[in-house]
A and B are shown apart, each in its own frame.
Chain A
Amino acid sequence: EPEVTQTPSHQVTQMGQEVILRCVPISNHLYFYWYRQILGQKVEFLVSFYNNEISEKSEIFDDQFSVERPDGSNFTLKIRSTKLEDSAMYFCASVRTSYEQYFGPGTRLTVT
């Protein structure tokens, strides 16, 4: 069964460094999301992406964040200058229909 994959599984970075989190959505899915989950907290929406542009973004998704679909398969989330509070699990989701969002295993980002 097709699944969403994410790399790396764990990323440790120093405050102020740039990180790129990668996702390979399910092929033939057209709508993609990034969510994050701070330890012990809710899964929170960051951004949605369709047809090579941002469809919607939350207030969390400020100028430090960007998303890109550099080729036909990868979907990336970049954080330009990481802060301690960016430490979280980041999940990519791939959508077939509006309510069938399939999540990847996540990338655990630790900012020190």
Chain B
Amino acid sequence: QKEVEQDPGPLSVPEGAIVSLNCTYSNSAFQYFMWYRQYSRKGPELLMYTYSSGNKEDGRFTAQVDKSSKYISLFIRDSQPSDSATYLCAMSPSSGYSTLTFGKGTMLLVSP
């Protein structure tokens, strides 16, 4: 079983839609969960991070972690064409300077 699984997409939605992006993981040691946005041929850009279970909101973005199900989500409200990118989930086991384990990324396409 792969450590972090993410549907590669593409996920195509119309402008204004609510988008749900998800990752599952197998390693129960993961405690910190991040979402990165990556535009084509660019570096990953940190969007949000959460610790342990719960929700975190930042503008149009909401990150949700369910550790009991080993499932994390990123919701984007009122999606815009500029949100079109690949979204990577990443996670690490501790608060020390741990390496990140990434999902493969989901490509999101928001059409005007």
Contact = CB atoms under 8 A, between A and B. Distances in A.
Interface in A1-30: 4
A41 B32 CA distance: 22
A42 B6 CA distance: 10
Nearest to B96: A98
Interface residues of A, number: 27
A58 B105 CA distance: 21
B41 to A, nearest CB: 7
A102 B100 CA distance: 12
Given A99-B92, A100-B49, A105 B99 contact: no
A45 B41 contact: no
Contacts of A108: 41
Contacts, number: 60
Contacts of B34: 99, 101
Given A99-B92, A100-B46, A45 B32 contact: no
B32 A99 contact: yes
A43 interface: yes
B97 A55 contact: yes
Interface in A94-112: 95, 98-106, 108
A56 interface: yes
A45 B100 contact: yes
Contacts of B51: 99
Interface string B88-104: 10101011111111111
Interface of A: 4, 31, 33, 35, 41-45, 48, 50, 55-56, 58, 89, 91, 95, 98-106, 108
Given A31-B97, A43-B88, 15 more contacts: A4-B43, A42-B102, A42-B103, A43-B100, A55-B97, A95-B97, A98-B92, A98-B94, A98-B97, A99-B51, A100-B49, A102-B46, A103-B43, A103-B45, A103-B46
Interface of B: 4, 32, 34, 36, 41-46, 49, 51, 88, 90, 92, 94-105
